Structures are given as C-alpha cells and as structure tokens.
Amino acid sequence: MKESKKYLIKRSLGYLLGFALFYSPFTLIQRILIGIFHLNGSKNIHGACFRMGVQGLFTGKGISLLTTTGIIMMFLIVSAFLIGPFFCGRLCVAGAISEYLSRLVPERFQINWQKNINPTPIRYGILSGFVVSPILGISVICAYCNYTLLEKLISGLTTWDLAVLGSTNIITGFIWLILLGAFAKGGRGYCSYFCPVGATQNLLHFVGAKLPFTYKLKYSKENCVSCKLCVKDCPMRALQNSDNTLTYNIHNCITCHQCEHSCPKKALTFGTGESNWNKQTSRTVFGVEVGGDKI
C-alpha cells in the first residue's frame, strides 16, 4: 500500500478519536472537564463550541476560561499558533466526513473550487461576518453550523430516524456534504470557505509561522521532482500548481501532513525554522505573499 494511503487511514483514526472526544453520546473531553475538574459546560458539541467562544470574545460578552468552551478554545488557540490548525487536520470529524465522502465520487465529477476561487478572502470575510453579526442583532451561530448538524444526524442515526432539520440545516448540509464536499476536489470546500473555526486558527498559524520555533510546512526545492502528488492529495487544495509554480496557501492549510506523506522525495516536511518558500515566485493571496516555487 502506498505511504499516502496508509497515512490517510492513520489520519482517519484521529478523526474517530475526535468524534469520541467531542461528540455525543461520548463527549469525553466535556465529561472529563465537567466530571473531574468541575467546570461548567454542556455534555454535547455546544460544550466544546469554539465558535460561540470566538463570538463571545468579539462581542464584548467575554468568555469564562474555566468552562469547557474556555479550555477547549485555549487549546485551539495555542495549538494553532505553535503547530498550525491541529484540530482541523487531526481531530475535526465534520471536516473529515466531507473529505472522505469526496473520495467515493469519481474525480471527473468534482470541481477544484479552491483553484478557481481563492478561499482566503472568502473565509476571512465569513469570519468577519460571523463576528460582526451579533453586533447587528443577527445570530448565525448554530443555524449554519456543520458541527451541530453532524450531531443532529448522529442522534438521528442512533434512533434510525432522520432528525428534524430546519431550512438552514438543509442549506448547510447541501453545501458541506454535497456541493463543497462530495463534488469538490479534496472534499473540504466547506472548511476552506465557510468554517470560522478554521479561519481563526489559520490566522493564528499565519502569524505563528513567522516565528522560528513554531511548526510549519517546509519546502526543499532540491528534493522536489515536480511529481505534483502533493497537489493531488492536499484535501484543502492549499497546495496548487499554477503556471508551473507550486504555490502554498498557508491561510488554507490545516497541517494534516497529508502532503508530507504523499511526497516520495521528502521535499515537503513539517518542522521549525525557515519554511524556505521562495517569496520571489510566490503567489499573492489577499495582498499577502503566501509562498511558492517554480517546479
């Protein structure tokens, strides 16, 4: 079996762990924090909601750190800054479901959304709208949330009955699982364009990656044989090949390490120090150079 396939299976174990940690009926993290550390919070996905936490921070409502949401939010912020969006790449079941679903659909039916429409300004625009919305008296928090929808669908599965879905759930499901999921190359279109949790973590990773002691994707031009396997395997399509240039969009990378395991020559690695992306040939995304090199 190819190394990339092996790693894909290995990665799926992380998502299963993520399911046991955050989702009903298990919610191990919430149960540990509530049961052992006596913190406040709910024993469902809302008890781990980073989105609610982010919204609370930006609307001046604040956030109590000694709650399940507060602790999980701190974990995501620190991990994103130091090692990149670890949660998205290793534990997020919602993102994984659409990614693995897309592997069941033949590629000829799939659209490379991220190549055609740059996700960076859109995902930060969505994050900005998400933060601004409560100030304007609008709430989009649970209505368009794929985590909430996933928990609903799982609870429906346990009773062998489809959960009651609202119009906003149905729209979210269509975008997340079908339009930007099964029929998108990589299957993580929803993550790329619509997830405010991912956008926040990528913003932190972008800043953190500038420091020498943080983990980031590193490129070795000497080892690269231009096979483009990394481009093909990247679920977020953060690596693209345009005009014979390998571009890397750090604003859209979930640090899942799939590219590292797809590369037969170890040209892509994760580690500390300089990332070695050649800024002269890099692509500009949202007014910011994101790294890239001729291949």
Partner 1 sequence: MNRISIRNLIISFTFFILATSIILLAGYYKASLTKETSTFTLNLNDKKDKTIIYDVANQGIPKRIVQPGKITISSGSGIINNTERVVLLKVKAEDFPYDIDINSTDKSFDNKSKIFTRPIEAGNGVNLQLTFNIPRKDINNEVISSGTLVFSDINTGDLINELPIEIINSGSK
* 271: nearest Cα among 111, 83, 130: 83
CA distance 267 to 250: 17
Q: Is there binding between residue 58 and partner 1 (CB under 8 A)?
A: no
- Helix, strand, or coil (residue 173): helix
Which range in 7-15, 103-111, 134-142, 232-240 contacts partner 1 by CB under 8 A? 134-142
Among 170, 207, 211, 225, binds partner 1 (CB under 8 A): 170
Q: Is there binding between residue 166 and partner 1 (CB under 8 A)?
A: yes
CA dihedral defined by 172, 176, 179, 184, rounded to 10 degrees?
A: 170
Which range in 31-39, 119-127, 221-229, 263-271 contacts partner 1 by CB under 8 A? 119-127
Which range in 58-66, 82-90, 114-122, 253-261 contacts partner 1 by CB under 8 A? 114-122
CB of 168 to partner 1, least distance (A): 5
Q: What angle do CA 255, 259, 263 make, to 5 degrees?
A: 150
- Assess contact for 135 and 59: CB atoms under 8 A: yes
The whole-angstrom distance between residue 290's C-alpha and the CA centroid of its chain comes to: 18
CA dihedral defined by 212, 239, 177, 184, rounded to 10 degrees?
A: 170
CB-wise, 20 or 143, nearer to partner 1? 143
Which range in 24-32, 95-103, 213-221, 281-289 contacts partner 1 by CB under 8 A? 281-289
CB-wise, 194 or 277, nearer to partner 1? 194
Question: Which residues make up the interface to partner 1 (CB under 8 A)?
Answer: 117-118, 120-126, 128-130, 132-133, 136, 138-140, 143-144, 162, 164-168, 170-171, 174, 193, 284-287
